[in-house]
Structure formats: C-alpha cells, structure tokens
Structure 1
C-alpha cells in the first residue's frame, strides 16, 4: 500500500521509536514546530502508522510510537 505523506509526516515517522515519545520531544528531534508535529501525527494516525499512548503517571500527556505493521 502506498501513502502520499507530507514531508513533515515522513520526518516525524522517521524520528519515532518503538517506545512512546512525546510530541514535544519529536519537535525537538525534527526541528519542526510543535504545531507541525501535531498535524503530522494526525496524518500518521489516520493512515494507521502511529499509535497514541497515554502516560500512566499523567493521563493528560500522550506518547506516540510506530505501529507494528503486519504484512497482508
């Protein structure tokens, strides 16, 4: 399957890891604004590429990680 993703979404996807990371940390790693990172995450979530996780210590905070993709 082919996704036409914006450049910012590709940058954010490449900065993601297998463990949850905050949007603020993603902005720091990619040198993108937090607003741009949030938009990129929205696109990635809509395409099933990113998983959103709530941190247990503070449910207001969210983390993002690459979704495990299964072939087929």
Structure 2
C-alpha cells in the first residue's frame, strides 16, 4: 500500500475526492472530473489547485481539445512507499 504524503491530510474534502477519482479512473479533464464527482467546475478547479500546490498532480495538454488539460496523479505519489527507520 502506498504511503500517503503528509500534505494530503490537509486537503479539503473536494481535493481528496478528486484525488480518489483520478486514482480510480486515471487521466481526466476538469469537465470529466466534475461530471464524475458531481462537484461544480469551480469546486473542481479549486481542488485541482490544492492538489497542484501539494505537488501530487500531473497536468498535460489534451490533444483532442488544446483548450483543456488532462490531469492525473503524479507517479511519485503512486509509487511512494513508506520508509522504515532503523533504531
């Protein structure tokens, strides 16, 4: 199971929901996220900003419509395993 970075605990509920939807569905546009979560586009935009600030969001151009972006979870979050400390 992946380790949850500390900055994710401070996310608003909408940010945690968007993170979970991206984890389950993979890459999505803001509109797709809004439809899937039933959150307003404004709330999704706020959640995406919070995820970006936390350093866990990857964004790239959506080639079907260059006005939109595709969002996904950063690989570093998906592969971040907890470290063990030797005493």
Normalization by structure 1: what TM-score? Answer: 0.86
- Structure that is richer in helix per residue: 2
Q: How much has 1:67 moved relative to structure 2?
A: 0.7
Decide whether the 8 Å contact of 1:20 with 1:53 is kept in 2. Answer: no
Higher CA-based Rg = 2
Residue in structure 1 matching 2:14, options 8, 16, 37: 8
How far is 1:59 from its partner?
1.9
Deviation at 1:61, TM superposition (A): 1.4
Aligned length: 72
2:46 to 34, 39, 53: 39
Contact 1:12 1:30 in 2 (8 A): yes
Question: Secondary structure at 2:35's aligned position in 1?
Answer: helix
What is the root-mean-square deviation of aligned Cα atoms in Å?
A: 1.7
Q: Separation in 2 of the partners of 1:56 and 1:63?
A: 9
- Is the Cα–Cα contact under 8 Å of residues 9 and 44 in structure 1 kept in the other structure? yes
Q: Deviations over 1:25-72 (max 9, x none)?
A: 101111110100001001101111111110123321111011111547
